[in-house]
Amino acid sequence: MEGNSKTLGEFIIENQKEFKYSSGELSRLFNSIKLAAKIVSHKVNKAGLVDIIGGAGEKNIQGEDQQKLDVYANEVFIKTIINRQIVCGITSEENDDFITVQGGDNGNNNKYILLMDPLDGSSNIDVNVSVGTIFSVYRRISEVGTPVILEDFLQPGINQVAAGYIIYGTSTMLVYTTGHGVNGFTLNPAIGTFYLSHPKIKFPEDGNIYSVNEGNYVHFPQGIKNYIKFCQQEEGDRPYSSRYIGSLVSDMHRNMLKGGIYMYPSTKSTNGKLRLLYECNPMAFITEQAGGKASDGVSRIMEIEPTSLHERVPFYSGSINMVEKVENFISEAKLSKY
């Protein structure tokens, strides 16, 4: 593959004209992300051989139990990116508040902020199932030269300049977009280089996979219950398959390649589980750039105005015809109440 494929670095340089801001900064940022990804990938592949699996004994801001690898991945990404002096601020699922990056000449002069879920699906670590990292990049809206402020992070998804994910599975892949399609790069661990392996990824318009935690079925809105019943009907040539890994990165990656929909509805007690800023928005950006659709069941995910760093929203993302079908079921269920 090495002789026939572009490396990630070569690809970014060749396509830098598509990035309407500073191409040099984007290249430096991705160099930091891919370095951190390689470090985390190496540690994930050693799980079970070193003391990195199991709980860390702490909870994150959402009250969720942190895994040791959660904490490790968070520290690796933060330190790697701060050391390169590319961004002026970072926020993570694992941190209560955003981090102001200062140092070098003046970290406040940097123009970008990074939002991330450093290890999505971490409950799968102990059982050797794929996990991932999700990231999102924005230009700051506060004045350059001043410390970042909360409003820099509370931007709607349509303002993203780049987003991507790394999946640590049978191979390690980095998939990203800067608003000009979606491309995937696979890590050759022997030489530590990412090669273009999945150019111009596209969601099939239709699919037969639905991904949802059906253990929460009794708490789902009626429209989602109706849609799941529709998927389970054996009518004609339409049997749908349920595939749910419990890692947003893994489920979305599979559905993007094969065709399908990922769903995490609201329940009676929560507004869904997924966080808008560092899970839903980046995945929505990737989905749309791959020809799919991402919705909260009513509205476009990337047009939602965030109100807090750890805000949760319902999330439906995938093949466009499947997402629109879900929206129709939700709308019909609401109308039937009146």
| Binding-site sequence positions for Mg(2+) | 93, 117, 119-120, 279
- Known binding-site positions for substrate: 120-123, 213, 244, 273
Encode burial over 137-147: b for 16+ CB neighbours within 10 A, e otherwise.
bbebebeeeee
Is 248:120 a contact under the CB 8 Å cutoff? yes
- Known binding-site positions: 93, 117, 119-123, 213, 244, 273, 279
Helix (H) or strand (E) holding 55: strand 55-59
Is 223:297 a contact under the CB 8 Å cutoff? yes
What is the helix, strand, coil percentage profile of the chain, to 5?
Answer: 35, 25, 40
Distances (CA, A) of 62 to 94, 96, 249, 308, 309: 8, 9, 19, 12, 11
What CA–CA distance (Å, rounded) separates 45 from 232?
37
Q: Which residues contact 320 (CB under 8 A, 6 or more apart)?
A: 203, 205, 291, 292, 293
3-state SS track over 186-206: EEECCCCEEEEEECCCCCCCC
Three-state secondary structure call for residue 327: helix
Q: Which residues contact 18 (CB under 8 A, 6 or more apart)?
A: 178, 179, 180
Can you read off the two tokens belonging to residue 118? 């450093």
Half-sphere exposure at residue 77, Cβ-oriented, CA atoms within 13 angstroms: 33
